[in-house]
């Protein structure tokens, strides 16, 4: 028993990336879910009231629908998503050999459309792209986040961490100022969370719709009056990757609900 | 690619235009003496009632972080000290410097510098080259904070 624990601890130390000062240790990581009130939690927990499930259902229909000049459906290559897509979203953004860069799940969907379906890319935040990503990520619900273990991702994780630590905007605040140093406190009465990326795409009551992690990051940037990076930009992808590495071990929740 | 670099060039040009305008005529010059700015930025004292309204306005951002003697609003932050009694703890001169550039008191502070337009990173297009508050707004807020005595 003790022996096994010692081995487990040793492997943990060996594989977990070293924490820098101010970063949240694995056993203290908490999803935004833990900061919500009972009503919002109940809405997320019950698939019949979770508004994100409508998008998941749309995504399931799109998964089986032939499209593009190749006239192929996602299912023609990947089969039943319930098995083929389980755990996939938990390790995105993933390294893409062809471009030599990390790609997000949204970008992977569009790469598949371009290369295998010969279809036009779906615009960021469009209903179809959100629905497909929600459907794929939903297959990982409850699966622990494992993103960022590929050694080729290291420089991109570092870029993301630097961006997370960088003060920006007219208010001159960095992500770390709120989400590492001040979670559990209140910004104008609203709780600040650790900014964990566990539930995306997710339904935000404030948005009245499903939205991507990039949409959330862009609104934090506008909040500090910074020029938000464009959707799909290398900076947003690097930040996403760093956030997923920072959330390692937390279970996926897609589609989550947030206030 | 060509389109996006043209876009970026336009952006940079726009923010440069703003920055020059601001440093040329938007920021009044001020003199730091000891740990404060003794003279009003506008040459005359501000209005405390207007200052109170400004502190409570979301756009000035104060109560995102601070709370204070404001029974009419539940939406107050707790990232920063309660402003109650600030007028006992600090002189008007110190309060003015704190608002202009809080990093003079604590280099790591999260409190923004409200009267500064340079040395910032990726400021949003609509805010580039402008201080968060005008000199007159700072004076109104200083006048109000000075009235916060227990």
**Any domain includes B22:** yes
**Any domain includes B150:** no
For tokens 């996602």, the residue is A74
- Distance between B80 CA and the closest CA of chain A, angstroms: 10
Report the share of chain A in percent with pLDDT over 70.
93
Asked whether residue A6 carries a pLDDT value surpassing 70, the answer given is: no
Could you tell me the pLDDT band of residue A19, with boundaries at 50, 70 and 90?
Answer: confident
A150-192 pLDDT per residue, tens = 999 999 999 999 999 999 999 999 999 999 999 999 999 899 9
- ipTM metric: 0.90
Structure confidence at residue A17 (pLDDT): 56
Distance CA A202, CA A189 (A): 22
Three-class secondary structure of residue B138 per DSSP: helix
Q: Give the pTM.
A: 0.90
**Any domain includes B55:** yes
- Distance between A228 CA and the closest CA of chain B, angstroms: 7
CB proximity B11 to A under 8 Å:
yes
Three-class secondary structure of residue A42 per DSSP: helix
Distance CA A54, CA A60 (A): 10
For tokens 């959707």, the residue is A231
Among candidate residues A102, A101, A120, the one with its CA nearest the CA of residue A110:
A120
**Any domain includes B62:** yes
Kindly state the tokens that stand for B145: 């904070």
Q: CB under 8 Å to A28, separation ≥6 — which residues? A: none
Asked whether residue B16 carries a pLDDT value surpassing 50, the answer given is: no
Asked whether residue A43 carries a pLDDT value surpassing 60, the answer given is: yes
Could you tell me the pLDDT band of residue A127, with boundaries at 50, 70 and 90?
Answer: very high
Mark yes or no for CB contact A185/B79 under 8 Å: yes
Considering only the beta carbons, identify the residue of A188, A222, A228 that sits closest to B64.
A188
As a 3-state breakdown, chain B gives helix, strand, coil percent values, each rounded to 5, of 45, 0, 50
Asked whether residue B61 carries a pLDDT value surpassing 50, the answer given is: yes
More confident residue, B26 or A127: A127
Distance CA A247, CA A164 (A): 14
Per-residue DSSP letters for B11-34? HHHHHHHHHHHIIIIISPP---BT
Which residue range is the domain that position B38 belongs to?
Answer: 5-145
Structure confidence at residue B45 (pLDDT): 94
Peptide bond connecting A182 to the previous residue in cis, omega within 30 degrees of 0: no
More confident residue, A4 or A85: A85
- What CATH number is given to the structural domain containing B9? 1.10.760.10
B66-76 pLDDT per residue, tens = 999 999 999 99
Average pLDDT over residues A24-44: 97
Among candidate residues A55, A56, A208, the one with its CA nearest the CA of residue A140:
A56
Total tally of structural domains belonging to chain B: 1
Could you tell me the pLDDT band of residue A60, with boundaries at 50, 70 and 90?
Answer: very high
Could you tell me the pLDDT band of residue A22, with boundaries at 50, 70 and 90?
Answer: confident
**Any domain includes B83:** yes
Asked whether residue B3 carries a pLDDT value surpassing 80, the answer given is: no
Structure confidence at residue A20 (pLDDT): 73
Among candidate residues A211, A69, A56, the one with its CA nearest the CA of residue A136:
A56
Considering only the beta carbons, identify the residue of A168, A185, A187 that sits closest to B121.
A168
Strand A94-96 to strand A202-204: parallel, antiparallel, or no bridges (unpaired)?
unpaired
């Amino acid at each position: 028993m003790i022996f096994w624990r010692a081995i487990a601890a040793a492997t943990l130390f060996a594989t977990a990336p070293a924490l820098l000062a101010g970063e949240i240790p694995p056993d203290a990581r908490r999803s935004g879910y833990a900061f919500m009130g009972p009503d919002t939690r109940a809405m997320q927990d019950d698939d019949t009231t979770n508004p994100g499930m409508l998008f998941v259902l749309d995504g399931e229909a799109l998964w089986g629908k032939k499209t593009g000049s190749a006239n192929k459906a996602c299912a023609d290559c990947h089969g039943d998503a319930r098995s083929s897509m389980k755990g996939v979203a938990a390790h995105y953004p993933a390294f893409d050999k062809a471009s030599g860069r990390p790609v997000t799940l949204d970008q992977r969907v569009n790469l598949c459309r371009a290369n295998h379906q010969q279809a036009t890319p779906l615009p960021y935040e469009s209903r179809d792209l959100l629905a497909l990503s929600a459907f794929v990520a939903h297959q990982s619900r409850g699966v622990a986040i494992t993103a960022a273990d590929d050694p080729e991702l290291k420089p991109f994780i570092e870029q993301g961490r630097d961006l997370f630590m960088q003060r920006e905007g007219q208010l001159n605040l960095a992500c770390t100022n709120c989400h590492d140093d001040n979670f559990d406190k209140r910004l104008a009465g609203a709780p600040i969370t650790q900014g964990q990326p566990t539930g995306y795409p997710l339904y935000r009551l404030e948005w009245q719709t499903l939205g991507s992690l990039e949409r959330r990051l862009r609104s934090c940037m506008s909040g500090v009056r910074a020029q938000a990076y464009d959707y799909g930009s290398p900076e947003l992808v690097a930040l996403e990757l760093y956030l997923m590495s920072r959330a390692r071990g937390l279970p996926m929740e897609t589609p989550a609900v947030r206030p | 690619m060509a389109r996006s670099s043209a876009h970026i060039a336009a952006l940079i040009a726009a923010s440069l235009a703003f920055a020059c305008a601001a440093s040329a005529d938007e920021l009044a010059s001020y003199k730091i003496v000891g740990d404060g700015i003794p003279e009003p930025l506008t040459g005359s004292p501000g209005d405390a009632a207007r200052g109170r309204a400004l502190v409570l306005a979301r756009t000035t951002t104060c109560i995102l972080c601070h709370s204070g003697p404001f029974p009419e609003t539940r939406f107050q932050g707790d990232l920063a000290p309660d402003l109650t009694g600030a007028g006992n703890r600090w002189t008007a001169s110190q309060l003015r410097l704190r608002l202009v550039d809080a990093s003079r008191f604590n280099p790591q502070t999260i409190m923004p510098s409200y009267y500064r337009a340079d040395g910032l990173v990726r400021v949003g297009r609509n805010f580039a080259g402008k201080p968060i508050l005008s000199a007159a707004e700072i004076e109104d807020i200083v006048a109000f904070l000075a009235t916060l005595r227990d």
